[in-house]
Amino acid sequence: MKPNVISHPSCVLLRFWRAQPSATKVPILQALRLWFPIFLGLLIAYRGWGASTASVPPLGLVAYYPFDGDLQDVSGFQRHAVSDPVGGTLRFLSTRKVAPSQVLSLGGSNVSITIPSLAGFGPNGYRGTTVSLWIRCPIQGYLLGCAQESAPEQSSFSIRTDGKRLMVSSGVGDELGFGFPESPKDWRHVVVVFSRSTQTNEKGMVVQLWMDGRAVGVAPIRVNPLQLKTPLTLGGISGTVNGRLQGEIDTLRLFDRALPQEEIMNLYAQDTAGIEKTPLLIVQPQAQSVEKGRDVTFRVVAQVGLPATFQWQCDGLTLPGATVPELTLSNVPPSLDGGHYRVFVQNAQGAIFSESALLTVYPLTPPSIVLQPAPIEVAEGEPEVVFQVASEGSGVLLYQWQFNGKNLPQETGERLILRHVRAFAHGRYRVRVTNLYGFVWSDEVSLAVNTYDADEDGLSDYEELLLKTDPEKPDYYGDRMPPIPAPEISTWQEFLATSNPSSQGRRSMALAVLQILLRMSHIWWIDL
């Protein structure tokens, strides 16, 4: 049977429209022309808003605990936590300035929180792992841990803090410690990332600590590649009452991958977006050490939300005109040594003091010798002779060694090294130390080079050693080369074998010439 198209709603509306006179149709068309674009825009905006606010878990998110009055996992994976024992000192407070969010407060007694469904979570198997949470200083104890059972092949890991350092252990090797600035009563965003190392072998890992959206430390770490078996524990380590957490934490997120820098910074920005617009210092002023007359700058980076004012102080006293995030002191005098500098930041919602930073001012001093060179006595041919000084003074120190009052080219360091010394090195040595504010001479010390001629032939023992004229002679100098095989009889040997009186004068003259040639090989010493 064919449908009754005449009774279809669209056909009824069409017949009704055609039956209307033109005078009635015109106002209706004008109204549609005006309101239809507005209605369409509202519809598109509504659909876009609904899509943008849909809850899509970040990639790799394993669990997410906002601690808003309970221990429920809101990631969608239903990995809820359990407090043991029930009824202990487990409280939920509203103190992180995020309304209506709450935070978890643990009293450090026998209370620990177990997440049974997270057995196996951690950096084992060389997987990447990320732990993100907020902590309030002071705080101490275990933040997270997975204990090792009796089976020796089982892995483990833990993250704990004493309020000044954060310690990470993978159950293999030493515990790693990272320091971070103390900030009493301040909330800090902490991210611990385990990732594969690109600097070591393919099984190596590194652990990196992020604080308030910036990296503060990284170190290599060894992990057990075998499976973690015990459930994850929050605020302690299962099986022990030692190290239970004392303090407040909030917004715990666990990822089974290593988050990159961009995502870590986005997490921090996301969590701070809901905070009341009171000033928040992201970068604190750092201690500075400078020489007298130099310039020094203290700097803070603040997240202020609303327009804010800055006022720097030194030892609690206001510094006139110091009302910007950077404080620069020019040509600092010694009187500023030991001063503590901080800044007061205030906006319409509140105020905060930065941490204090110490300024150390060193005086400008000429060089001084703290370790003088010592005199040395050696035999000719000594393999190495070393003169050395130690000095101190402001700025860069320059050195120039002298021999018998004349500069030694290229000898411009703290140490003067002479190798295989000859008789012509016998003499006096000293060094001049110079900086921009003066100079000083070291003591003048002597080098005594003793020359020996056992066979009294006019050639020293060391010269005979160099010439290899006595291959049977013991090597007293420590630098003798293996003897060179000689032919059955050489011209030199035949000349020396001549012993008639008429040849004695010629032989003495030849030895004298040979001595002169040996000494001329080092004639450059004469010109120093």
Looking at the structure, tell me whether residues 237 and 136 fall in a common domain: yes
Q: Is residue 261 situated within a structural domain?
A: yes
- Residue 127 confidence (pLDDT): 73
Spatial distance between the Cα atoms of 220 and 210, rounded to a whole number of angstroms: 15
CB 245 within 8 A of CB 235: yes
Q: Is residue 11 situated within a structural domain?
A: no
- Per the model's pLDDT, the better-predicted residue between 431 and 158 turns out to be 431
CB 278 within 8 A of CB 164: no
- Residue 31 confidence (pLDDT): 64
H-helix or E-strand containing 494? helix 491-497
Name the average pLDDT for the chain.
77
Span of 35-44, 159-168, 263-272 with lowest mean pLDDT? 35-44
- Residue 524 confidence (pLDDT): 42
- Residue 52 confidence (pLDDT): 36
- Per the model's pLDDT, the better-predicted residue between 390 and 30 turns out to be 390
Q: Is the dihedral of CA 28, 31, 32, 33 positive or negative?
A: positive
Residue pLDDT, tens place only, 321-376: 999 999 999 999 988 999 999 999 988 777 788 889 999 998 888 999 999 999 99
- Residue 509 confidence (pLDDT): 63
Looking at the structure, tell me whether residues 286 and 351 fall in a common domain: yes
Residue pLDDT, tens place only, 394-424: 878 999 999 999 999 889 999 999 998 988 8
Highest mean pLDDT among 115-119, 300-304, 377-381: 377-381
Q: Is residue 26 situated within a structural domain?
A: no
Looking at the structure, tell me whether residues 405 and 465 fall in a common domain: no
Looking at the structure, tell me whether residues 416 and 496 fall in a common domain: no
Looking at the structure, tell me whether residues 120 and 244 fall in a common domain: yes
* 333 token code pair: 């005098």
- Residue 138 confidence (pLDDT): 83
Looking at the structure, tell me whether residues 423 and 308 fall in a common domain: no
Residue 22 has pLDDT above 60, yes or no: yes
3-state secondary structure string across 164-216: CEEEEECCCCCCEEEECCCCCCCEEEEEEEEEECCCCCCCCEEEEEEECCEEE
Give the burial class of 125: count Cβ atoms within 10 A of its Cβ; 0-12 exposed, 13-18 middle, 19 or more buried.
Answer: middle
- Residue 492 confidence (pLDDT): 42
Contacts with 11 (C-beta within 8 Å, 6 or more apart), sequence order: 5
Tell me which residue range forms the domain holding 403. 368-450
Q: Is the dihedral of CA 272, 276, 277, 278 positive or negative?
A: negative
Looking at the structure, tell me whether residues 114 and 183 fall in a common domain: yes
CB 349 within 8 A of CB 278: yes
Q: Is residue 5 situated within a structural domain?
A: no
H-helix or E-strand containing 83? strand 82-84
Domain count, the chain: 4
- Residue 224 confidence (pLDDT): 77
Q: Is residue 306 situated within a structural domain?
A: yes
Count Cβ atoms below 10 Å from residue 155 Cβ, excluding itself.
22
Residue pLDDT, tens place only, 257-302: 899 888 888 888 778 765 656 677 878 899 998 888 889 999 998 8
Give the burial class of 63: count Cβ atoms within 10 A of its Cβ; 0-12 exposed, 13-18 middle, 19 or more buried.
Answer: buried
pTM of the model: 0.46
Count Cβ atoms below 10 Å from residue 246 Cβ, excluding itself.
17
Q: Is residue 222 situated within a structural domain?
A: yes
Residue 388 has pLDDT above 60, yes or no: yes
Q: Name the domain boundary from 419, 450, 481.
A: 450
Q: Name the domain boundary from 450, 480, 496.
A: 450
Spatial distance between the Cα atoms of 250 and 135, rounded to a whole number of angstroms: 7
Looking at the structure, tell me whether residues 92 and 227 fall in a common domain: yes
Residue pLDDT, tens place only, 177-226: 888 766 666 788 899 999 887 654 455 788 999 988 888 889 888 887 77
Q: What is the CATH number of the domain that holds 433?
A: 2.60.40.10
Span of 17-26, 400-409, 448-457 with lowest mean pLDDT? 17-26
Name the pLDDT band for 497 (thresholds 50, 70, 90).
very low
**Residues pairing with 288 in the sheet:** 359
Looking at the structure, tell me whether residues 164 and 196 fall in a common domain: yes
Looking at the structure, tell me whether residues 124 and 253 fall in a common domain: yes
Residue pLDDT, tens place only, 69-101: 889 999 888 899 888 665 566 788 876 766 557
| Residue 295 phi, psi dihedral angles, 5° rounding | -100, 150
Residue pLDDT, tens place only, 118-154: 877 888 767 789 999 998 888 888 888 887 665 555 5
Q: Is residue 56 situated within a structural domain?
A: no
Q: Name the domain boundary from 361, 392, 408.
A: 361
- pLDDT above 90 coverage of the chain, percent: 26
Looking at the structure, tell me whether residues 476 and 505 fall in a common domain: yes
Looking at the structure, tell me whether residues 242 and 325 fall in a common domain: no
- pLDDT above 70 coverage of the chain, percent: 68
End-to-end CA distance of the chain: 125
- Residue 454 confidence (pLDDT): 83
Q: Is residue 439 situated within a structural domain?
A: yes
- Read off the pLDDT of each residue in 483-501 and give the average, rounded to a whole number: 43
| Residue 63 phi, psi dihedral angles, 5° rounding | -160, 155
